[in-house]
Chains A and B, each alone.
Chain A
Amino acid sequence: MSLASLDAARGASDDAAFGAFASRASLGQSALALAAGAVWLGFAFLTLRWPDIGDWGRGPELAWAAAIFGGLLVAGGLFGGFWPRAAKRLRRSTPWFLVLGLFFSLWQATTAKSTLLPQPFFPPPHAMLEVFIDDWAKLAESVAASIRLEMLGFAAGASAGFVIGVLLGWSRAFGYWAHPVMRLIGPLPAIAWLPIAFFAFPSSWSASIFLIGLTTAFPVAILTWSGVASVNTAYYDVARTLGASPAFLIFKVAIPAALPHVFVGLFMGLGASFAVLVTAEMMGVKAGLGFYLQWAQGWAAYANMYAALLIMSLMCSGLVTLLFKLRDRVLSYQKADVKW
């Protein structure tokens, strides 16, 4: 029994007009899933049966994976009615599956099958799959190195920026000395420090931590400062009449009140620090995804470059997601304005 007929049966017992409508809607959903499945099966067939012009590995593996995925989509379209909750969750992605299948087919046709796109600059999908299967160890090692470097730099920069921001918001004397320095150095792109940092620090790795930290610290400091400065003065009045000490005013009033701003600063700092991370890895650090990218370019290994690029974007996106999750947790008292 199909999803459509199952819904229709339920509808008939309800209300005739509404039942017909519901059945038409779920029929459309099933048709979409079937179409997406067909596209993926078509992609598998095209990959397997249309001979490649050049020599790229892992074609059959990709074809079989695509065929299994297409088969699952078809099965989902036919029998999704038996697992309504899972079907409902998958249904949101069906249009994406369909479009992705078309995209992969087009990519395959214009690269490995017809070389419409110039080779070797645009490798086919199964060349990328080959990289993931054969070079995963080196890729994983690069990801680990990149995350380690990024986290060390980001943590150092975020902590420094946070402390500077709180001090700027709280102490006039600190502001007098720190503000001009911040205005001078802050807007300078950290990359500009690169040549100096690489010889001033004992290793290019420690220099990179410094540069990532510098990039992160500036927006975090500015936003923390503005957060502390914009705290409603009535909060201080309330706390003071209840017997709060200056330390209580800083740690229990000013900082929690400023946290929404701090997270905006952290988000900006994180985004900016990715640019420094990749540049530093390309210019001097002998590890990480930036280094992998550079190395792949040296060998004209274009499939490796695209693979590294894809992993890099997943890594950056993942780190931003983590930050947003942390924010939602820490600021759970708020109604979130921006969903990531």
Chain B
Amino acid sequence: MVSAALKSAPASAGVEIAIRDVSHSFDLEGAPLPVLENVSLTAARGEFVALLGPSGCGKSTLLRLVAGLEPPTKGEVAADGQRISGPDPSRVVVFQDPTLFPWRNVRDNVSLGLEAQGLLKTSGARIDATLRLVGLENFAKAFPHQLSGGMAQRVALARALVNDPELLILDEPLGKLDSLTRLSMQGEIVNLWRRAGFTALLVTHDIEEALLMATRVVVFSARPASIKADIRIDKPYPRHRDDPDLVARRREILTLLGLDASW
């Protein structure tokens, strides 16, 4: 059930994201609170990079900078060499909360970006195809309050994918789901990424999730965040969580995070 939009995707798919020497701080009652310190990171076209680090370390802030929702205090974020100065529908975000608009039904939520870009009239088939892609074709007319957490997050995913993005930014998208839904959606997202070939940035707290999904795992230190390790995972998909290599990698990352003593 690959949509027409996604079939044509590989031609335009993927973008190179370059984060150069970025530092960022928030203004906390007059005093600057540094959250990112000299972060440099490049994600190649079509790569799936997981950002892993302790809670509140500034990973989500980094995603906001890449999305163009905020400019960095210092340094530069560029997409294919072009400085990112604002949000753009080629770089879409899936947040931890689905943040569906409660007054729009599933289909109208999915079509939000196309409507905002004035493409609504020409893209009916594309919306339907995307709904099928996430398995929600029978819920097009349902309203968000009628959906389960996993279904709502699928709608959020469809709302992002229908724009045929070059970069998909995933800010702990599975963080609030129950563990079974979570497992199945990890596989679904990887399949979608492999089909469409976009670049993906995933923030997560879950080491296993990062190892199962990403081609690269970047480990951050506590706030202000800097990069501690950059680990390449050259494993074919589907991966298995009991794979001895992944188990070894898991131990390595736990040590980096100072959690090796815990079980």
Closest to A232 in B: B99
A242 and B103: CB pair below 8 A?
Answer: no
| Closest partner residue, chain A, to B113 (CB atom) | A242
Expressed in whole angstroms, the Cα–Cα distance for A326 and B77 within the complex equals 48
Given contacts A243-B87, A257-B101, A335-B145, contact A238 B95 (CB under 8 A): yes
- Interface check A241, CB cutoff 8 A: yes
> Which residues of chain B come closer than 8 Å to A335, judged between CB atoms?
145
Cα A240 to Cα B82 in complex, Å, equals: 19
Query: Within the assembled complex, what's the spacing in Å between the Cα atoms of A327 and B206?
Result: 44
- Residue in B68, B91, B102, B116 whose CB lies within 8 Å of A239: B116
- By the criterion CB–CB under 8 Å, are A239 and B112 in contact? yes
Determine the distance from Cα of A248 to Cα of B112 in the docked complex, in whole angstroms.
10
- Choose among A242, A243, A248, A333 the residue that contacts B143 (Cβ–Cβ < 8 A): A333
| B86-130 with Cβ < 8 A to chain A | 87-89, 91-93, 95, 97, 99, 101-105, 112-113, 115-117
B159 within 8 A of A: yes
- B99 partner, pick from A235, A252, A331, A333, beta carbons under 8 A: A235
**Contact assessment for A243 and B88 in the assembled complex, using a CB-CB cutoff below 8 Å:** yes
Select A241's contact among B91, B104, B115, B144, beta carbons within 8 Å. Answer: B91
Which residues of A have CB within 8 Å of B35?
Answer: none
Contact B99 A334 (CB under 8 A): no
Chain B residue at minimal CB-CB distance from A237: B69
B199: interface (CB < 8 Å): no
- Interface residue from B67, B102, B116 paired with A248 (Cβ < 8 Å): B116
| Pair B159/A242 contact, Cβ less than 8 Å | yes
Q: Is the C-beta of B163 less than 8 angstroms from some C-beta in chain A? A: yes
User: What string of 1s and 0s marks CB contacts (under 8 Å) between A239-261 and chain B?
Assistant: 11111110010001100110100
A333 and B145 contacting across the interface, CB-CB below 8 Å: yes
A232: B residues at CB distance < 8 A = 99
Contact with B67, one of A241, A245, A333, A334 (Cβ below 8 angstroms): A241
Known A333-B102, A333-B145, A334-B102; contact A252-B91, beta-carbon cutoff 8 A: no
**A259 to B116 CA separation, bound complex (whole angstroms):** 20
CA–CA, A235 and B103, complex, Å: 12
Q: How far is the CB of B217 from chain A (nearest CB, A)?
A: 24
- Bound state CA distance, A335 and B102, in angstroms? 11
Q: How distant is the Cα of A243 from the Cα of B97 in the complex, in angstroms?
A: 19
A237 to B144, CA, bound (A): 18
Instruction: Tell me if B103 and A333 are in contact (CB < 8 A).
Output: yes
A257-B104 Cα distance, complex, nearest whole Å? 10
A338 contacts the other chain (CB 8 A): no
In the complex, which of the residues B69, B89, B145 contacts A243, with contact meaning CB atoms closer than 8 Å? B89
Given the interface pairs A252-B115, A253-B101, A259-B103, the reply to whether A242 lies near B163 with Cβ below 8 Å is yes
A264 to B: closest C-beta gap in Å:
16
Query: Is the C-beta of A173 less than 8 angstroms from some C-beta in chain B?
Result: no
Q: Which chain A residue has the least Cβ–Cβ distance from B67?
A: A241
Which of B89, B103, B163 has the most C-beta atoms of chain A within 10 angstroms of its own C-beta? B103
Q: How far is the CA of A335 from the CA of B92 in the complex (A)?
A: 31
Residues of B within 8 A of A (CB): 67-69, 87-89, 91-93, 95, 97, 99, 101-105, 112-113, 115-117, 143-145, 159, 163
A–B complex contacts, Cβ < 8 Å, 13 sampled: A235-B99, A240-B87, A241-B67, A241-B92, A241-B93, A242-B116, A242-B163, A243-B87, A243-B89, A252-B115, A252-B116, A333-B103, A333-B143
Residues of A within 8 A of B (CB): 232, 234-235, 237-245, 248, 252-253, 256-257, 259, 331, 333-335
Given contacts A234-B95, A242-B112, A256-B101, 12 further A-B contacts (CB under 8 A): A237-B93, A238-B112, A241-B68, A241-B69, A241-B89, A241-B93, A242-B89, A243-B89, A243-B163, A244-B116, A248-B116, A256-B103
